[in-house]
Amino acid sequence: MPGAYTGDEAAAYAAKQCRVDVVAAYPITPQTIIVERFSDYVADGEVDTKYLYAESEHSAMSACVGASLAGARVFTATASQGLALMHEVLYLASGLRCPIVMAVVNRALSAPINIHGDHSDMMGSRDCGWIQLYAENAQETYDLIVQAFKIAEEETVQLPVTVNLDGFTVSHATESMKVLSDEDVDKFLPPRKPIFKVDPETPITVGAMALPEYYYEVKRQQEEAIQKSKGVVKMVGDEYGKFTGRRYGFMETFGLEDADAAIMCLGSTCGTVRSVAKDLRAKGKKVGLIKLWTYRPFPTEEFLSTIKDLKALAVMDRAISFGAPYGALCSDVSSALQNTGMDIKVMNMIYGLGGRDTPPSTVREVFDEALRTAKTGRVKERIRFLDVRE
């Protein structure tokens, strides 16, 4: 069924169709429309979801953990400071293996205060043990949320998932998109079957204290689970593709077959990059795009086989990792390349902080620089800040 939705509306609609039992959230720009739309569904009796209007994001995520432990299907949404306030609880959700799904509408962090899009929020919680998916537009937001529940609740996974969408660029822009019928979503996503739950009939102790004798083993198991979830991400992406014609997985590439230089990034900017790459290829330039849908678990092997014939790769990070050699995404790329013997020149571009526009002309500059590097084999600048006043 086609329709016009903003990214936020698409997220709310997907959660509704996934028949979530409990939503617990606190509003924050630019996520607000998600909780507003969901509140409408509740107020109009269109869903039988229990909506917990929390007094903070910390409590919202805490309530999600409680509800998920009880066996419910749980959804929430946040952004920026809200995600930062949840930070402590994010680790509980993954450590206690709660398959919560959360839409994160990516937004800059204070200070200075700014409500616009960048990836500082999620990169700040990069290592919280959640599976992290990134959507390019409203369609992908919808598609990824439906898949996220299936991935999260899979017996071997039992981990929480974030679906990231760029603040305003995706969250507030209305797009024409396709949604499934309620029946089709029901077919794709059966009700949750919890592996363990806090249920009076089978008393269990959840969240026990693990001293040095056991803590390490629990954490190791958690890492194994998220690494192994790769198979499920792929399987669900394929299945969704068969179901809808829109196949997902770890990444989408454009023009990589014969490209000398490529740009890698997350989220809405991929649309601009693809469009510029198309123009350049029409002019005979061998350029391509790597768009990651799945940032955690990082699809290391698949990524390496994708880039093996590239000469230069420009990694665009929409967040600063203060004091680090590179932005977070570029650090991941660099460490994936470690010891592989591949001679691919990697350059890092920081861009779009606090909603700074990244027009096609900027992307063209990045491609030009990447092509130059592919030719010369020399990286002029290890890290470059695009479109910033010096």
Partner 1 sequence: MMVALKDLPKEEPYAPGHRLCAGCGPSISVRMALKASRGPTVVVNATGCVEVSTTIYPYTAWRIPWVHTLFENIGAVAGGLEYAYEALERRGQLKGKVDIIALGGDGGTFDIGIQALSGMLERGHDVVYICYDNEAYMNTGIQRSGATPRGAATTTSPAGKVIPGKRGKKKDLAGICAAHGISYVATASIGFFGDYIDKVRRAIEVDGPAVVHVLAPCPLGWRSNPSDTIKLAKMAVQTGLFPIYEIIDGKYKLSLKPGRLIPLEEYLKLQGRFSHLLKPEFKDELEAIKREVEDEYKRILSLAGEHVT
Instruction: Please report, as ranges, the residues that interact with partner 1 according to CB under 8 A.
Output: 21-22, 24, 48-50, 52-56, 58-60, 62-72, 74, 88-89, 92, 96, 191, 198-211, 214
Rounded to 5 degrees, what angle do the CA atoms 97, 267, 291 make?
95
Q: Which residues of 210-229 are buried (b: 16+ CB within 10 A; e: fewer)?
A: eeeeeeeeeeeebeebbeeb
Which one, 20 or 270, has the nearer CB to partner 1? 20
Which one, 202 or 338, has the nearer CB to partner 1? 202
Query: Min. distance of Cβ 223 from partner 1 in angstroms?
Result: 18
d(CA 135, CA 118): 13
Which one, 64 or 261, has the nearer CB to partner 1? 64
Query: Min. distance of Cβ 145 from partner 1 in angstroms?
Result: 19
Query: Min. distance of Cβ 366 from partner 1 in angstroms?
Result: 43
Query: Min. distance of Cβ 212 from partner 1 in angstroms?
Result: 11
Query: Min. distance of Cβ 99 from partner 1 in angstroms?
Result: 13
Which one, 47 or 179, has the nearer CB to partner 1? 47
DSSP conformation letters of 108-140: --SSSP--S--SHHHHHTTTSS-EEEE-SSHHH
Query: Min. distance of Cβ 217 from partner 1 in angstroms?
Result: 10
Q: At which residue do the structure tokens 């500059």 appear?
A: 365
Peptide bond into 111 cis (omega under 30): yes
Bridge-based pairing of strands 251-254 and 312-317 is: unpaired
Which one, 196 or 377, has the nearer CB to partner 1? 196
First-to-final CA distance of the chain: 48
Which one, 69 or 104, has the nearer CB to partner 1? 69
Query: Min. distance of Cβ 209 from partner 1 in angstroms?
Result: 5
**Contact partners, residue 59, CB within 8 Å, separation at least 6:** 24, 26
Bridge-based pairing of strands 74-78 and 2-6 is: unpaired
Which one, 208 or 282, has the nearer CB to partner 1? 208
Q: Which residues of 54-78 are buried (b: 16+ CB within 10 A; e: fewer)?
A: beebbbbbbbbbbbbbebbbbbbbb
Query: Min. distance of Cβ 50 from partner 1 in angstroms?
Result: 4
**Contact partners, residue 368, CB within 8 Å, separation at least 6:** none
Which one, 49 or 80, has the nearer CB to partner 1? 49
CB atoms within 10 A of CB 244: 16
Query: Min. distance of Cβ 281 from partner 1 in angstroms?
Result: 50
d(CA 186, CA 204): 31
Which one, 67 or 159, has the nearer CB to partner 1? 67
d(CA 184, CA 308): 39
Which one, 74 or 379, has the nearer CB to partner 1? 74
Query: Min. distance of Cβ 67 from partner 1 in angstroms?
Result: 4
d(CA 353, CA 109): 10
DSSP conformation letters of 360-389: HHHHHHHHHHHHHHHHH---S-SEEETT--
